[in-house]
Chains A and B, each alone.
Chain A
């Protein structure tokens, strides 16, 4: 169900929305991927590919936030009560 892999679109061919295809580079391996479900995607974008279809365009800003979430983790952590011990 869930095996979708990120890859970069290096070329796009076709005009017809349902059959528009992109050549996607997964890092030394490329594949033609159907872009029908990501009409906004342009060359250079990163997409998530599942069974030969791009199902989502990777939001780079949000990706960066994910890795930076750790800083937010500090903010989200509730202030420890002075007397409680953390569960080890």
Chain B
């Protein structure tokens, strides 16, 4: 595609990196919130192009990483029912809950199917009227409109055997939790471009103002990320703290109103326990009472299991950027992608998996107990 080509053009990327080098005069720490951005940063080796004093911290922007373990447990419980077909995005299948993962549930005989879109799950429900189809609705605000539409259509078309196990999380409360922490060492944020394509970025003005941090809405291609960093560093160097939009080709300040309307129709804001971050008020989405018939938790009488005491896994601190993965004692030893202790080692965008896969020399250093590299 034309767009993708241009945003990966080596010459453009080189020139932006050079401009960034000239711009920066002091060390800065910038957090990118979105897992998709983490993935691109690691895949294209972007940290190598940055000025030495610019540190990128990977934030809690991977919904797979922050989906509560309790919800995975509830999903697994559903798979034990013969009549249930549990549909999920591929990302979630290997994430451990408190008692195994969905891939294991499938191996034990559960009917677990990967779908690309929640509408595929709805179609499955219509094709299988004698089965119960549950869609595991994870994701940030980007995915909420799709999941909302599936529920809306199910209600309108009377597809009684379709329900949603809602586990949505919202980005601004997570950013605020990070900013509120006394040890917060983040100077600026790259805000998640596709979340903002849906929600717009009015919610970020109070955060920028209250905490004095630049927030730049950024895309996902290498050029986008470098430009986002350039704008963020520019503000930092000039002592500014406002919301700026790098991803103008896809994002407007007000966002996507039709999408927001459907989300508001179906969902309400609820308290949500984030894996690793704990309970954050007004940080999740749950189905409104009017759609209770399609709420899997109510429909199947699922009780949310209590969160066990945190073990060795430092996911919470990693997600908030306070610990870099190689600094975790379990990193690369007890905790690897083949036997993960926590979600950030499973998801392809989790910070731990990203470090493990693409910087194995740090893996060895950590295992030898020498701590972080660079």
Direct A–B touching in the complex (beta carbon < 8 Å)?
yes
Residue positions of A touching B, CB distance < 8 A:
1-4, 6-8, 18-19, 26-27, 34, 36-39, 46, 48, 50-53, 55-56, 58-60, 62-63, 65-67, 69-70, 73-74, 76-78, 80, 84, 86-88
Query: Given contacts A50-B142, A55-B256, is CB(A66)–CB(B249) below 8 Å?
Result: yes
| Closest Cβ–Cβ distance, residue B72 to chain A (whole Å) | 17
Query: Given contacts A27-B1, A56-B251, is CB(A2)–CB(B146) below 8 Å?
Result: no
Q: What separation, in Å, do the CA atoms of A47 and B249 have in the docked complex?
A: 10
Q: Once the chains bind, are A88 and B6 in contact (CB under 8 Å)?
A: no
- Beyond the given pairs A1-B142, A2-B194, 16 more chain A to chain B contacts, judged by CB atoms under 8 angstroms and listed by A's residue number, are A2-B35, A2-B37, A3-B36, A6-B4, A26-B1, A37-B256, A39-B258, A51-B146, A55-B142, A58-B250, A59-B249, A59-B250, A69-B227, A77-B19, A87-B26, A87-B53
Q: Once the chains bind, are B249 and A1 in contact (CB under 8 Å)?
A: no
Total contacting residues, chain B, CB less than 8 A: 65
B133 within 8 A of A: no
B24 within 8 A of A: yes
| Closest Cβ–Cβ distance, residue A45 to chain B (whole Å) | 12
Secondary structure call for the B interface: helix
Query: Given contacts A2-B195, A18-B153, A36-B258, is CB(A51)–CB(B143) below 8 Å?
Result: yes
The 6 closest A-B pairs by CB, nearest first: A52-B117, A2-B36, A63-B249, A62-B249, A1-B140, A62-B248
Query: Given contacts A1-B143, A87-B25, A87-B52, is CB(A18)–CB(B149) below 8 Å?
Result: yes
Query: Given contacts A48-B194, A50-B142, is CB(A56)–CB(B250) below 8 Å?
Result: yes
Q: Which residue of A lies closest to B140 (CB)?
A: A1
Q: Which of A7, A53, A67, A80 contacts B1 (CB 8 A)?
A: A7
Q: Once the chains bind, are B194 and A66 in contact (CB under 8 Å)?
A: no
